[in-house]
Amino acid sequence: MGMFTYGIACALEPVSKAAPIILRGDMDYLAETAVKLGYEAIELQMRDPQRYDWAKLRATADQAGLKFSAIATGREYVENGLWLLSDDKAMRRAAIDKIKTHIDMGAVIGAMVIVGSMRKDIPDFSREAAWAGSTTPSWNSPTTRRRGTSCWCQRTSSPPPRTSLIPCGRLPIT
């Protein structure tokens, strides 16, 4: 098995139809539907993870024979206005604290955490290397290692536009 498990994008509550989320509903519905569609995993598009019983989510997925491929954090930016590269120190602190909650959830449900639009575009492309993360084997931050999961950053820098996952080794998640 490879490093990544692909899953169907799901949300546990109503979300805009414009969002790149295929299934919306409670965990029982998501699990049942994902299995019927032939998926082996669910990618949770998550905001406010503290609202849910993580052990119950994991038990429901386990009972259906599903895994969680990832927790995507983009809704924290889109719906809660939190982003990691903000120049506002209080905004950065709130975003970091929220990411820590996602990381804790990921450890409980067995999912990596993807930081995409919550990171936001790199404001000064010449500084990309400082924000991009490490590509060395020690890519995982101490925070994610302590919590027993991994955190990956989606490159959405511009210019030039591109998207790929890179390790979040140097993101200041402390």
Of residues 122, 155, 127, 151, the one with CA closest to residue 139: 151
Which pLDDT does position 162 carry in this prediction? Answer: 44
Which pLDDT does position 45 carry in this prediction? Answer: 93
pLDDT tier for residue 10 given thresholds of 50, 70 and 90 = very high
* Cα distances (angstroms) measured from residue 145 to each of 3, 88, 100, 109: 16, 27, 12, 15
pTM above 0.85, yes or no: no
At residue 112, φ and ψ (nearest 5 deg) are: -75, 165
Question: Distance between CA atoms of 156 and 132, rounded to whole angstroms?
Answer: 10
Name the one residue in this structure whose structure tokens are 């903000």. 86
Query: How large is the C-alpha radius of gyration of the chain?
Result: 16
Which pLDDT does position 116 carry in this prediction? Answer: 73
Domains with residue ranges and CATH for the chain:
8-167 (3.20.20.150)
Name the one residue in this structure whose structure tokens are 């019983």. 53
Q: How far is CA 16 from the centre of its chain?
A: 18
Which pLDDT does position 49 carry in this prediction? Answer: 94
Which pLDDT does position 65 carry in this prediction? Answer: 97
Q: Is the model's pLDDT at 56 over the cut of 60?
A: yes
Mean pLDDT, residues 8-13: 94
